[in-house]
Amino acid sequence: MTKDTTSPASAAEIALDWHQAGRGAALATVVQTWGSAPRRVGAQLVVSGDGRLEGSVSGGCVEGAVVMEAQEALADGKHRVLEYGVSDGDAFAVGLACGGTICILVEPVGGSMPVDLLVDLVAAQKARDQVAYEVNLTTGIGAVLREAYPERMRLDRSGVEEDGETFVAVHNPPLKLIVVGAVHIAQALVPMAQLAGYDAAVIDPRAAFASPDRFPGVTLLEDWPDEAVAALGLDARTALVLLTHDPKLDDPALEAGLRQKCFYIGALGSKRTHAKRVERMLAAGFGAQDIDRIHGPVGLDIGAAGPAEIAVAILAEMTAVLRGKTG
C-alpha cells in the first residue's frame, strides 16, 4: 500500500533504511510542475527493490509508471528525469488527463545517489540542521549543502534554478512551537499550530495549568521556563510564545530565546507592559537589535477578541515572519 510519506526527512530515512537492509531503494522527487499537477515540488516517493512504496509524487496517477522507471534505475544505477503530462502520448495511460504536467527525478541509492551522501543528509536532518540537496539534472551529481540558498530555506521552496539544470531540494527540520504559559490562548494556539505543521510543547511550572486534560497529546513541561526551553532546544525553526503575563515566568524564557536564533519570539501584553519588558531586557544586557526581535504585543493587529482570535493573530504573525512578510 502507498502511504503519503512526502516529508523529505522521512523519505530519506526510509530510503537509507531499505538500502542498508539490502532491499534496494530509489528516491523519486517532483522537481517541476505545470498546470494542475496534484503534488507540490519536493514531494517524494520511495521505491524498494522488491516493489514496496512509501510516499507519493502524484496522488496515485503516475506512481505505476514511476515505479517501473525506479526498478530500471536500480538495475543500471543511473538517474532519470521523467515528464508526464497531457502533451505526451502516455498521458492518458498514466492518468494525467486533467491538464497537469509533472517532472520527476528518480535517483537509485548506491547508484547515481552515493550512500555516503544519503547518510549525511539523514544525519543532518536528525540534528535539525537546515540543509539543501543540490543535484544536476543532466549529470545526476548531487551534494548536501549547509548555509546555502537562504531564500529557498526561508520559504520552504524546493525548485529548479534559472539555469534549468540545477534542482534544489529544501530539507528543513520540522517547525517547532514552544509556548510558555498553559493559559486559554495556548489551548487554542497549540492545536492550530499543530495543524500548520508545528511540533508543539507547553511550559508551565503550575501543574494545575499544564495538565493533560487541558492539553491532550501535547508535550508538557512543569519545569522552570529557562530550564525547560534549554531541554527542548531553540533553533532557527523555533517559534517561542510567552503568554503568562508574569515576568518571573516569561523573562527567563525570553532571555534564553534572545540568546538563540528563534525565527519568532512573541510576548503577550499591552504596549505599556511591553515597554516595561523592554526596560528589563535592557537592564539584563540585551541590545536594541536583540530586543527588536520581540513581537509585543504579540500577534497581528486584527482586532482579535477572545483567546481563539488572539491565537489566530499569533499564528498569522508567526507565519508572516517565517515567510519574510510584514503582515
Q: pLDDT digit of tens for each residue in the chain (327 aa)? A: 333 444 555 899 999 999 999 999 999 999 998 876 667 899 999 999 988 999 988 766 688 889 999 999 999 999 999 998 745 454 455 455 455 788 999 999 999 999 999 999 999 988 889 999 999 999 999 999 998 999 899 888 999 999 999 999 999 988 999 999 999 999 999 999 999 999 999 999 988 898 999 999 999 999 999 899 989 999 989 999 999 989 999 999 999 999 998 999 999 999 999 999 999 999 999 999 999 999 999 999 999 999 999 999 999 999 999 988 887
Sign of the torsion formed by the C-alpha atoms of 137, 142, 144 and 147: negative
C-alpha triplet 134, 139, 144: angle, nearest 5°: 20
Do the Cβ atoms of 168 and 40 come closer than 8 Å? no
Q: Which alpha helices (H) appear in the chain, and where do they start and end? A: 8-20, 63-76, 91-94, 115-126, 150-155, 184-195, 225-232, 247-259, 271-283, 288-291, 307-322
Structure confidence at residue 36 (pLDDT): 64
Burial class (CB in 10 A: 0-12, 13-18, 19+), 12: buried
Q: Can you tell me the distance from the alpha carbon of 120 to that of 137, in angstroms, rounded to the nearest whole number?
A: 20
CA distance 36 to 62: 14
The predicted pLDDT at position 10 comes to 85
pLDDT for the residue numbered 98: 52
Domain 175-322: state its class.
alpha beta
Are the C-beta atoms of residues 15 and 27 closer than 8 Å to each other? yes
CB pairs under 8 A, 24+ apart, for 206-210? 206/182, 209/181, 209/182, 209/183, 210/182
Task: CATH 3.40.50.720 in the chain: give the residue spans.
Answer: 175-322
pTM for this entry: 0.76
> Which of 29, 76, 22 minimizes the C-alpha distance to 48?
22
Tell me the CB-side half-sphere exposure of residue 78, using CA atoms within 13 A.
Answer: 8
C-alpha 235/C-alpha 251 separation (Å) is 18
Closest CA to 62 of 41, 77, 45: 45
- Residue 324, classified by CB atoms within 10 Å of its CB into exposed (0-12), middle (13-18) or buried (19+), is exposed
C-alpha distances (whole Å) from 166 to each of 67, 162, 163, 270, 307 are 24, 8, 7, 48, 46
**Does 297 sit behind a cis peptide bond, omega within 30 degrees of 0 on the bond before it?**
yes
